[in-house]
């Protein structure tokens, strides 16, 4: 018994010591928050869990962006200091956002991948009148019924993903009169994407064969694959996220299923992880490393030099969001969120490393920009582990307005709470 | 849904359970003998998967299959000798904290060495393809996997039931003081048990690397269901763990099969709750005095 007590006391002392040490370490940042020679930017994104692998690309990219911004003179001549945290889940995300804004006085928060966490961060951001730029949450609801004046979206909404890759499905004759079966990630993003997919497929004459909601921690897809084989669909639609997509692709190949596959949401890193021969189908992306524009080539070169691997779409999102913030602050000579928001709402144009510049739509704060559909290359045409797909031309085409792939005001109503 | 598909889902669910078994048996053994709740068990599974990536380019999948579990087992012995050993007689909460920390260290180490993005690895060409068992078409690789897993389970059972080594281990689970009084030191046995249990987790990592996403946190994904299996099966019971693993796989598979996939994860916790309500020591848990 005395033994146990001793242990408890000792561990208690250790814990107290650890806490003292931790608070000691954080004290300097509290003090320096008073000084004005730096501009702080907060970065929140999931770095663990099923979206963690993607978040890591966001972290690498924002580090690179801040490095480049500081090398070019910072923001308004002040050095940019980046505060990065693992957002973990919606509750933790909102707590950390609160702390970044109140204690660390960040100029804005950039990041996120989970649509559920985007919502909680946006609520904190709006309450504190601080800009939040979403770089990875796709759900239409974030630009619709849950839209917030202080939240902007560099990441495309689900509607844009669906309409981009939907063009490829229509072209390949996989929609009209055809039977589609879907697997959906069982959280905010997946549910939202499923309803947008249903709207698109129904409008274009597709027949819905069935859907399975997949828990986010699912690793084994064999039970789903048996159902798909039984259903014999003409198109398998994957509305999954994160590691789910890699697990699905590896096991789809393992079970030898050959129904055409496509997805309405995607990240290149997941295809790289599935690997040559396992990666199949046609998928939408906001950006990919094979884009033939000077801006993209420079970004790919700088990223590859720093990290020994090419960037993927999530890296583009965090990189470009940071560049947009830097450009806006430098042009406005102000880091105040309301001023930046006014600037963005007025339709300021930004170079997005693509063929056309982009702008934020004032009605829902969604970035209007070109997207791409990528299709897996057959195994014998693959030269290295990264270049495993071919890309469609930019969607929308050069003669179309950028807004054609976005949701219409009727499809997705956004009324900013005043 | 057709009866055929239901049968397929039941068989597939049982097969799925076998993967948990490889993890859960080691967990159960280490807890039963040493009283260590090894939260780092999943990390050894992840290390096994990553070692497969490292070893395959030189020795192929076959080489990784032999070498990786041995390396992981040796790592297990080192951890047992240096860390676990200090906690056998102390409050389980301390070893829980230790292994929780160990799991985080291991995951972060994998992240630092191999990077956070998932890495690719495919089934070796010789093991690809489908087999038809009657009208049930199934992945050939998973049939191979099943064969290996069953061999491991039978091997472990023979070792525990039919050898003098096994008799000492089983006696040690029931009454370590009496074993000590008979002049037998349990320490070397504990090292072997750790090597076996942790080596099995490493083996599971090798076997699942070709079909699951390989990323630093993959250990976390498997550890929770494995614990559920141990709890349902009951401590100290070999067959309890086996049956619990099959049951967990079955419940998950059938939930997906009948269209309640969203509740497939919740269902195994519900199963655990029900089992604990009616049998607090698990299905076949033995009465072990020092854990009462």
What are B238-250's pLDDT values in tens digits? 999 999 999 999 9
**Count of Cβ atoms closer than 10 Å to residue A256 Cβ:** 14
When pLDDT is averaged across residues A8-27 and rounded to a whole number, the result is 45
When pLDDT is averaged across residues B103-120 and rounded to a whole number, the result is 94
Per-residue pLDDT band at B173 (split at 50, 70, 90): confident
Within-domain flag for A301: yes
**Contacts B262 to A, Cβ<8 Å:** 186, 213-215
The per-residue pLDDT for B3 is 83
The per-residue pLDDT for B292 is 63
- H helix intervals, A112-212: 115-127, 158-171, 188-203
The per-residue pLDDT for A8 is 46
Q: How far is A274 from chain B (nearest CA, A)?
A: 5
Within-domain flag for A228: yes
CA-nearest residue of chain B to A227?
B257
Domain that holds residue A400: 159-286+372-405
When pLDDT is averaged across residues B276-285 and rounded to a whole number, the result is 90
Q: In this structure, are residues A205 and A220 in contact, taking their beta carbons and an 8 Å threshold?
A: no
Contacts of residue A226, defined as CB under 8 A and 6 or more positions apart, other chains included, come to B5, B8, B9, B12, B257
**Contacts A385 to B, Cβ<8 Å:** 120
Task: Look up residue B174 and give its two tokens.
Answer: 């029931």
Q: Do A250 and B122 touch (CB under 8 A)?
A: yes
When pLDDT is averaged across residues B126-141 and rounded to a whole number, the result is 90
Per-residue pLDDT band at B223 (split at 50, 70, 90): very high
Distance CA A93, CA A118 (A): 8
Cα within 13 Å of Cα(A296), Cβ side: 20
Please report the residues numbered 194 through 253 in chain A whose beta carbons come closer than 8 angstroms to any beta carbon of chain B: 212-215, 217-220, 222-224, 226-227, 229-230, 243, 246-247, 250-251, 253
| Closest listed residue to residue A219, CA positions, set A47, A46, A49, A45 | A49
Give this prediction's pTM.
0.89
The per-residue pLDDT for A1 is 35
SS3 percent helix, strand, coil of chain B, rounded to 5, is 75, 5, 20
Within-domain flag for A2: no
DSSP A322-366: HHHHHHHHHHHT---HHHHHHHHHTT--B--SSSS-BEE-TTT-B
Asked if residue A13 has pLDDT above 90, the reply is: no
Task: Look up residue A381 and give its two tokens.
Answer: 């045409």
Determine contact: B256 vs chain A, CB below 8 A: yes
Q: Do A276 and B262 touch (CB under 8 A)?
A: no
- A245 and A392 inside one domain: yes
Per-residue pLDDT band at B174 (split at 50, 70, 90): confident
- A380 and A271 inside one domain: yes
Proportion of chain A above pLDDT 70, given as a percent = 91
CATH of the domain at A191: 3.40.50.2300
- A280 and A400 inside one domain: yes
- A258 and A295 inside one domain: no
ω into A396 cis (within 30 of 0): yes
What's the ipTM? 0.93
Asked if residue B98 has pLDDT above 80, the reply is: yes
Distance CA A210, CA A164 (A): 22
When pLDDT is averaged across residues A406-413 and rounded to a whole number, the result is 93
| Closest listed residue to residue A194, CA positions, set A149, A160, A235, A240 | A240
**Count of Cβ atoms closer than 10 Å to residue A58 Cβ:** 30
Asked if residue B126 has pLDDT above 80, the reply is: yes
What is the b/e burial string over B93-111, where b = at least 16 CB atoms within 10 angstroms of the residue's CB? Answer: ebbeebbeebbeebbeebb
Determine contact: B178 vs chain A, CB below 8 A: no
Per-residue pLDDT band at A36 (split at 50, 70, 90): low
**Residue written as tokens 């003669």?**
A399
Determine contact: B286 vs chain A, CB below 8 A: no
The phi and psi torsions of A84 (rounded to 5 degrees) equal: -115, 135
Task: Look up residue A363 and give its two tokens.
Answer: 């009605």
- A262 and A165 inside one domain: yes
Q: What is the dihedral of CA A383, A388, A393, A396, to 10 degrees?
A: -170
For chain B, give the mean pLDDT: 92
Distance CA A322, CA A316 (A): 10
Per-residue pLDDT band at A49 (split at 50, 70, 90): confident
- State pLDDT tens for residues A98-122: 999 999 999 999 999 999 999 999 9
CA-nearest residue of chain A to B94?
A7
Per-residue pLDDT band at A68 (split at 50, 70, 90): very high
Asked if residue B140 has pLDDT above 80, the reply is: yes
Task: Look up residue A212 and give its two tokens.
Answer: 């399975």
- A196 and A208 inside one domain: yes
- A306 and A230 inside one domain: no
- A255 and A384 inside one domain: yes
Partners of A131 in the β-ladder: A108
Domain count, chain A: 2
Asked if residue A312 has pLDDT above 70, the reply is: yes
**Residue written as tokens 């002049």?**
B183
What is the b/e burial string over A81-114, where b = at least 16 CB atoms within 10 angstroms of the residue's CB? Answer: bbbbbbbbebebbbebbbebbeebebbbbbbbbb
- State pLDDT tens for residues A173-213: 999 999 999 999 999 899 999 999 999 999 999 999 999 99
Proportion of chain A above pLDDT 90, given as a percent = 87
Q: In this structure, are residues A314 and A54 in contact, taking their beta carbons and an 8 Å threshold?
A: yes
Q: Do A56 and B253 touch (CB under 8 A)?
A: no
Per-residue pLDDT band at B129 (split at 50, 70, 90): very high
CATH fold for the domain made of B3-291: ABC transporter involved in vitamin B12 uptake, BtuC (1.10.3470)
Question: Which residue of B4, B8, B118 is the best one to mutate when testing the A interface, meaning the one whose CB has the most A CBs within 10 A?
Answer: B118
Contacts of residue B181, defined as CB under 8 A and 6 or more positions apart, other chains included, come to none
Partners of A284 in the β-ladder: A373
Per-residue pLDDT band at B291 (split at 50, 70, 90): low
Q: Do A269 and B16 touch (CB under 8 A)?
A: no
Asked if residue B76 has pLDDT above 70, the reply is: yes
The per-residue pLDDT for A9 is 43
- A269 and A307 inside one domain: no
Per-residue pLDDT band at B236 (split at 50, 70, 90): confident
Per-residue pLDDT band at B150 (split at 50, 70, 90): very high
Q: Between vectors from CA B233 to CA B232 and to CA B234, what angle results, nearest 5°?
A: 95
- What's the Cα-to-Cα distance from A215 to each of A225, B17, B233, B252, B266, rounded to whole Å? 15, 17, 24, 11, 9
Q: In this structure, are residues B201 and B73 in contact, taking their beta carbons and an 8 Å threshold?
A: no
Q: In this structure, are residues A312 and A267 in contact, taking their beta carbons and an 8 Å threshold?
A: yes
- A220 and A196 inside one domain: yes
The per-residue pLDDT for B290 is 66
Q: In this structure, are residues B107 and B219 in contact, taking their beta carbons and an 8 Å threshold?
A: yes
Within-domain flag for A213: yes
Strand ordering across the sheet containing A108-111: A79-86, A38-45, A108-111, A131-134, A151-153
Who wins on pLDDT, A161 or B6? Answer: A161
Per-residue pLDDT band at A31 (split at 50, 70, 90): very low
Q: In this structure, are residues B44 and B201 in contact, taking their beta carbons and an 8 Å threshold?
A: yes
Within-domain flag for A25: no
Partners of B138 in the β-ladder: B131
- A140 and A264 inside one domain: no
Who wins on pLDDT, A128 or B88? Answer: A128
- A220 and A205 inside one domain: yes
When pLDDT is averaged across residues B154-165 and rounded to a whole number, the result is 95
């Amino acid at each position: 018994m005395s033994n146990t007590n001793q242990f408890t006391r000792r561990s208690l002392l250790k814990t107290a010591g650890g806490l003292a040490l931790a608070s000691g370490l954080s004290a300097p940042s509290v003090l320096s928050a008073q000084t004005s020679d730096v501009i702080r930017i907060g970065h929140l994104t999931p770095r663990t869990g099923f979206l963690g692998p993607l978040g890591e690309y966001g972290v690498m990219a924002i580090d690179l962006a801040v490095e480049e911004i500081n090398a070019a003179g910072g923001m308004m001549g002040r050095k940019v200091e980046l505060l990065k945290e693992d957002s973990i889940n919606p509750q933790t995300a909102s707590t950390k956002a609160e702390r970044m804004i109140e204690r660390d006085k960040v100029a804005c928060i950039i990041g996120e991948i989970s649509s559920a966490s985007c919502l909680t961060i946006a609520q904190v951001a709006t309450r504190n009148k601080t800009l939040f730029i979403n770089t990875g949450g796709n759900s239409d609801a974030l630009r619709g019924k849950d839209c917030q004046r202080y939240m902007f979206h560099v990441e495309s909404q689900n509607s844009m993903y669906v309409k981009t890759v939907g063009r490829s499905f229509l072209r390949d004759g996989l929609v009209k009169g055809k039977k589609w079966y879907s697997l959906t990630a069982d959280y905010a993003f997946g549910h939202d994407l499923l309803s947008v997919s249903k709207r698109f497929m129904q409008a274009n004459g597709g027949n819905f064969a069935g859907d399975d909601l997949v828990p986010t921690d699912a690793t084994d897809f064999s039970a789903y694959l048996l159902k798909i084989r039984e259903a014999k669909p003409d198109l398998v639609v994957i509305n999954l996220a994160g590691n789910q997509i890699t697990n699905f692709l590896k096991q789809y190949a393992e079970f030898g299923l050959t129904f055409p596959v496509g997805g309405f949401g995607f990240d290149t890193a997941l295809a790289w992880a599935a690997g040559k021969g396992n990666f199949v189908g046609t998928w939408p992306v906001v950006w990919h490393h094979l884009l033939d524009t000077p801006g993209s080539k420079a970004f790919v070169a700088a990223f590859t030099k720093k990290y020994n691997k090419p960037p993927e779409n999530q890296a583009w999102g965090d990189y470009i969001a940071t560049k947009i913030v830097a450009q806006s602050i430098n042009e406005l000579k102000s880091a105040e969120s309301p001023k930046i928001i006014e600037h963005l709402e007025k339709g300021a144009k930004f170079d997005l490393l693509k063929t056309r510049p982009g702008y934020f739509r004032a009605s829902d704060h969604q970035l209007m920009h070109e997207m791409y559909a990528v299709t897996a290359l057959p195994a014998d045409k693959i030269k290295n582990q990264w270049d495993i797909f071919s890309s469609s031309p930019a969607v929308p085409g050069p003669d179309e307005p950028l807004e054609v792939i976005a949701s219409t005001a009727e499809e997705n109503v956004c009324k900013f709470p005043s | 849904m057709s009866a055929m598909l239901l049968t397929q889902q039941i068989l597939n669910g049982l097969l799925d359970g076998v993967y948990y078994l490889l993890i859960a048996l080691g967990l159960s053994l280490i807890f039963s003998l040493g009283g260590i709740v090894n939260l780092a068990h999943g990390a050894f599974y992840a290390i096994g998967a990553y070692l497969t990536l490292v070893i395959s380019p030189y020795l192929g999948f076959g080489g990784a299959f032999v070498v990786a579990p041995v390396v992981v087992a040796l790592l297990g012995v080192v951890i047992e000798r240096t860390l676990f050993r200090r906690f056998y007689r102390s409050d389980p909460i301390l070893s829980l904290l230790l292994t929780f920390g160990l799991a985080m260290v291991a995951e972060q180490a994998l992240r630092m060495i191999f990077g956070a993005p998932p890495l690719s690895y495919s089934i070796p060409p010789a093991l690809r393809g489908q087999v038809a068992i009657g009208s049930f078409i199934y992945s050939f690789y998973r049939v191979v996997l099943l064969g290996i897993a069953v061999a491991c389970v039978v091997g472990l059972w023979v070792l525990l039931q039919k050898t003098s080594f096994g008799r000492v281990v089983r006696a040690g689970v029931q009454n370590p003081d009496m074993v000590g009084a008979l002049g037998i030191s349990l320490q070397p046995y504990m090292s072997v048990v750790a090597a076996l249990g942790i080596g099995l987790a490493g083996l599971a990592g090798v076997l699942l690397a070709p079909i699951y996403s390989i990323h630093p946190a993959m250990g976390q994904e498997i550890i929770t269901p494995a614990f559920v299996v141990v709890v349902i099966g009951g401590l100290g019971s070999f067959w309890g763990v086996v049956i619990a693993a099959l049951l967990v796989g079955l419940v998950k598979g059938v939930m997906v099969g009948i269209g309640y996939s969203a509740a497939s994860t919740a269902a195994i916790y519900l199963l655990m709750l029900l089992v604990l309500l009616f049998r607090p020591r698990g299905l076949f848990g033995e009465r072990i005095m020092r854990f009462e």
